[in-house]
Amino acid sequence: MCVYTPLELMQTDLKSTMFFVQLVCSELYCHELFHFGCPRTSVDVVKEDDPTNNVPDNIFSKIGLQLHRRDNHPLGILKNTIYDYFDKNFTGQFDKFDDLCPLVSVKQNFDDVLVPSDHVSRSYNDTYYVDGQTVLRCHTSAHQAELLRHGHTHFLVTGDVYRRDSIDSTHYPVFHQMEGFRVFSPDEWSGSRMGGTAYAAAELKKTLEGLARHLFGAVEMRWVDTYFPFTNPSFELEIYFQDDWLEVLGCGVTEQEILKRNGRRDHVAWAFGLGLERLAMVLFDIPDIRLFWSNDKRFTSQFSEGKLGVKFKPFSKFPPCYKDMSFWINDAFTENNLCEVVRGIAGDLVEEVKLIDNFTNKKGMTSHCYRIAYRSMERSLTDEEINNLQLNVREAVKDKLEVELR
């Protein structure tokens, strides 16, 4: 069998580049290529006109940008600050992965973490499918099972994740997560007078309370019971910060089925997941999630490696421009689909899409009215530019969603 090096693969034609992306993401080669990461990929190659593909060009363009690996970027600064906490308190114990390929199988993304077959997150309305068996990962938990199978028992996984979502200042279809995972053997809890689950839960809470203090200082905290398919019991950690309760992360004791499937029978484990943007917006006072993708020096120059919590100084005071759009919806209509169409036309110039009115007439037809806010974080938009955007949005909504404009 002929074996190519990563460099040789990347120097061949575009079809080979796509093959390399699949190779990096395949379980067969994971143990050899974990640290190499995912190459920048041609949009045309990845899409390949698969009829099940629902990923627009503006989303594919984000693959490989890896904001979390830039040491002078707020997300990179936050990631490294969390690394510092684990290095200080668990010296040499946690393996760190921040360059794993975001293209994963449906099995990795859902089945391996026990997401039910009928769960809404599997739908094309919520998840980006590259083809019928491949998705852009919805969470960094998609790598949990393969890491366990390759012998990793303490690890942190950071990466870009993708979800079809609404449009506002705190939601974006590409964001960044960190997953933490720790396995305990029976020897570790046998002398504690606690069962394995109780021991793992206690260690989890102690670890994450320490992380919260490391990031936010001496803050009041509380634990809230919740539900996740892959942990039991499951919790959310909230802190009292700036006169309000803020959800910091979700976590829990890993379901035994996950451990059994991946060679850790009779062990227990904890896992947590946090959104880097969510915390960075609070720590750096960043008001709009779109700013994380800005290359404007007025943004990027404000942050330096190792300096957590530098307060962002706004440089754009341009007002938003609002445009309303009304249409009769059909049975297939979803708001996520609408937001995808609007974002596909306007990109990061769209600030918010909000339902402001709906009614059903005597014939049973339902009308929605959405208000679209346009605003650039970096410059003033002209009336002509906004009018053209709105015209193109209306046409795209009519054609792609097959709705009747009013």
What does the H/E/C string look like for 93-159?
A: CCEEECCCCCEEEHHHHCHHHCCCCCCHHHCCCCCCEEECCEEECCCHHHHHHHHHHCCCCEEEEEE
Q: How many CB atoms lie within 10 A of CB 157?
A: 23
User: Which CATH number is associated with domain 321-405?
Assistant: 3.30.70.380
What would the two tokens of residue 337 be? 């689909």
pLDDT in tens, 87-133: 999 999 999 999 999 999 999 999 999 999 999 999 999 999 999 99
Domain extents in the chain: 54-283, 321-405
For residues 389-395, average pLDDT: 96
Torsion over CA: 335, 341, 344, 349 (sign): negative
Q: How many CB atoms lie within 10 A of CB 69?
A: 18
pLDDT in tens, 3-56: 333 333 333 333 333 444 444 444 433 333 333 344 444 445 455 668 889 999
CA atoms within a 13 Å half-sphere pointing along the CA-CB vector of 128: 25
**Band of the pLDDT at 191, cuts 50, 70, 90?**
confident
At 236, which helix (H) or strand (E)? strand 231-241
Look at residue 44 in the predicted model and tell me its pLDDT.
Answer: 52
The DSSP code for 67 is G
Are β-strands 174-184 and 154-162 bridged in parallel, bridged antiparallel, or unpaired? antiparallel
Look at residue 47 in the predicted model and tell me its pLDDT.
Answer: 58
Is 210 or 4 the better-scoring residue by pLDDT? Answer: 210
Asked if residue 46 lies in contact with residue 18, where contact means CB atoms within 8 angstroms, the answer is yes
Apex 293 CA angle, 398 and 178, nearest 5:
105
pLDDT in tens, 343-386: 999 999 999 999 999 999 999 999 999 999 999 988 889 999 99
**Band of the pLDDT at 206, cuts 50, 70, 90?**
very high
User: What does pTM read for this prediction?
Assistant: 0.85
- Mean pLDDT, the chain, integer: 88
Specify the CATH number for 54-283; select among 3.40.640.10, 3.30.40.10, 3.40.50.2300, 3.30.930.10.
Answer: 3.30.930.10
